[in-house]
Structure 1
Amino acid sequence: MPADARRDVVAAVLGFARTLRHAGVAASPDRVAAMLDAVAHLDVLDPAAVYWAGRLTLCGSPDDLDRYDAAFPAWFGGEVPRAHPSAPATRPRMVRSAPLETGVGTPDGEEPDDLATRASGAEALRHRDVGELTPAERARLRRLFALLAPATPMRPSRRRRPAPHGSVHVGRTVRGALRNGGEVTRLVRHRARPRPRRVVLLVDVSGSMTPYADALLRFAHAAVRARPSSTEVFTIGTRLTRVTRELRLRDPDRALAASGRAIPDWSGGTRIGEVLKAFLDRWGQRGTARGAVVVVCSDGWERGGAELLGEQMARLRRLAHAVVWVNPHKGRPGYEPLAAGMVAALPSVDVFVSGHSLAAFEELVRVIERAPAPAAPPPRAPARRPRLQEDRDAR
């Protein structure tokens, strides 16, 4: 194999290993080396050979097989590795087709022939409403959810680190000059080191949100898996339940099963205002919501008082860095936020997005990462001094 083609194969395998690690598969460096040794003795243009070489070397447990089956076509299906700038256009390319999953994407359970069919089916599934999927489509969508890698918004901190550009670190510059006989030969600079901003998800698990609760909790599991130390998840319904600990389990199905056992008001009523007040009294003002990106996932159907919801949303807005509201019904054509809860909450919401499909959740990832900053309050007019003080100054 030419050297350029060998470099392409290595780059493709390393990129595939990174994709697997994002999906939760512990593709360690020694397993990646084993796959490289395997494909060196195989035909890299044979999809079956590449598939089984990776499956036998990169997967370490039965829990990794479903993630591997979802990640393999997502990486190799229709995509080619990045070409070297000096490589000719006729260089052999990586796999264009491979066997598909059994019984998924076809009405009669047959396996499609190539990954182009599967890629088009996955693209269509990304935009389908989660509440209208068949059981087979839901099972396939769960594997796609495992590939989500939510990013965490960053915030500046008071701590600084050495940098080639930035403000001058006076102390280190002076100490360096003293070591050189008192002559300043180099200005040592530093700048603020960014830190992850906390993300808080409030997921509505009431009866009206039942078709979307599973997808919302899977998104919350992906967020907790990406940043376990800076992500908090609560469920809201008739009461407040913290499920962060349950969602820290690595396997999504086990994490959701543990969360379901911990939630006592699943598919119950909705009292968003009262539950939000309980969250702010117990968690929000103690620091959980202060300066955080708070994501409220609910359809806005409020059985309690809408006035209380409006007051608590305004209170939350004063504490949080940004408030994002996710309503699955917003993705439907002709939707208008006419529910009393939505009317009361929207004045305190920075970003209003839909959460009805996988594509909508991918957009939500970008919204959380950008985390819009609150608008600055208008400047106050200077206070007028009393007339008595003015007369005294004149004298």
Structure 2
Amino acid sequence: MATSTPRSPARTSEPLVPGVAADGTLPLPWLAAPLQAAHRLQRSHALLLQGAAGVGHLEFALLLAQTQLCESPRTLDDGRTPLACGRCASCHLVATRVHPDLLLLLPEAWRVRLGWLGEDEGRLAKGEAKPSKDLKVDQVRQGIAWTQQTSGRGRGKCLVLHPADALNTPAANALLKTLEEPPAGQRLILTTTDAEQLLPTVRSRCQKLVLPLPAPHDARAWLEARGLAQAEALLAATGGSPLEALVWAEEGLDGTLLAALPQQLARGDGSALAGRALPRVLDLLLKFAHDAAARAVGGAPRFFADANWPAGAPALPALLDWQRTLMRTARHDEHPWNAPLLLESLVEQGAACWPRGPARAGAARGGPAGRASLHSGA
């Protein structure tokens, strides 16, 4: 049963740590094992990093680039895997994002959230244009032209595309020849949370490296060290992703709210979700529907603790119908919906799946699609 991952990038407010620090500390402690795996693929000119959202794709891509370009590399504790020193001039240039041999291609929406606006700072910061979520063909062509230039510091070059899921079709097609035959000394690093969204011709030209989620106790310890309370509930709700758990905490989603949510939604109360971004609301509703369906067939919930659910089982056909409505709506989460009415309609339809659940007028089976009253401009 599918769940939804919001398409909008979300980050914590803390500035990104670009690679290894001067004292040898990794940007995220669980990246040591993937770094060892990447060393075994060091001869690959194109690397596709894939894993669950929030595992640290960008942090790891920058760590790989920093290590490749480092002028005084050290090693990990295994004594074999190269690791950037974090102290040389090259590492400093990477940390300040001005290294001549590192080019990072990001959609405008990602640059806005990271505060990496560059020459577009005035236009994007003032909201004069809606930041694009795509990696566009012009960006890719500029990146390809950059790969043809001579290395500035003599240790090769690295082009990072994050996330590669954001490549639109013309941009992806423009990249193919460079992926297949890059200039000497050039390495391309692509990231993705869903490799199936990439063109098969892009995937086939890359070596794959999976970024696993950290072990639950490691993720919990890392979050607690950063002062996050109720880390276990947030980790469960985010599918084990510590970076996503941090983002959720910043949005005001804590363990107490998540524990109460199943019973509230089952009785038609969506007040805890009011005012939140629609992608986040749909993500939570889809996870709730997933767990409800799992429990209805005798399985265990994945995102919300079993003890927090109401008594009684929902009607499975109605629940699956509601889940399909949520998935259709999630595909159009950027549509100008009337968010309060949409939330009310979706929550009421879900609550109607439970015995004696509320079935107030307007929660019609089949959901909100096509109802003019749910449009913000109605």
Provide the TM-score with structure 2 as the length reference.
0.28
Greater CA radius of gyration, 1 or 2? Answer: 1
Provide the TM-score with structure 1 as the length reference.
0.27
